[in-house]
Amino acid sequence: MGDSDVTELRQPGLAYLFFVRGNRSPTDRPEHFAHRNGATALRAVWIAAEAGAELERLLVRLGGSSVLRAVLAPDSVSATVVAVDRSEVVILPVSHQVVAGRPIIGASLRVTDMDVVSRQLSAAGIAARFEIRAPRRIVVPPHATRGIWLEFR
């Protein structure tokens, strides 16, 4: 890390990744991070990359733990999932890319109240897929989010 506190990877297959040092302050308060849709954390990122095995190795070297399991990303699929801190990186085959050449295909957000998310999306005129079976979630398709899937849980 240098003056900018950003580390970029120079490996071609991982060039889309970067790491930023946390910047928490003792004066930070929950209301500083409150969002109208009730999002409290990033649950997972869905990545469809040719260098999936390379990404998995990097994340495991950084302290993550890897497992192959069924996930919803956005539909049921078997994927490599690397748990990192309190979030996950879901690694999918490159064939799952929404836009060719863009490996980040989705993000899953932890929310406090699904009804708040539903009202926010409806008020904004955003069509979403509401699933009430376990896990209860709302999925917004890429055409409504500038190219990635958005999941609220």
Spell out the domains of the chain, with CATH numbers in brackets: 38-152 (3.10.180.10)
pLDDT at position 1 = 40
Number of Cβ atoms within 10 Å of the Cβ of 18: 10
pLDDT at position 16 = 87
CA of 131: how far to CAs of 56, 83, 128, 152, in Å?
30, 24, 10, 10
pLDDT at position 37 = 77
pLDDT at position 97 = 96
Containing H/E element for 53? Answer: helix 52-61
Number of Cβ atoms within 10 Å of the Cβ of 107: 17
Q: How distant is the alpha carbon of residue 143 from its chain centre?
A: 17
Q: What is the pLDDT along the chain (153 residues), one digit of tens a residue?
A: 445 666 677 788 898 887 776 667 778 777 767 777 778 889 999 999 999 999 999 999 999 999 999 999 999 999 999 999 889 999 999 999 999 999 999 999 999 999 999 999 999 999 999 998 888 999 999 999 989 999 999
Coil, strand or helix: which one is 142? helix
Do the beta carbons of residue 102 and residue 92 sit within 8 Å? no
* DSSP codes joined into one string, 5-21: -EEE--SGGGTT-EEE-
What's this model's pTM, rounded to 2 decimal places? 0.87
pLDDT at position 149 = 97
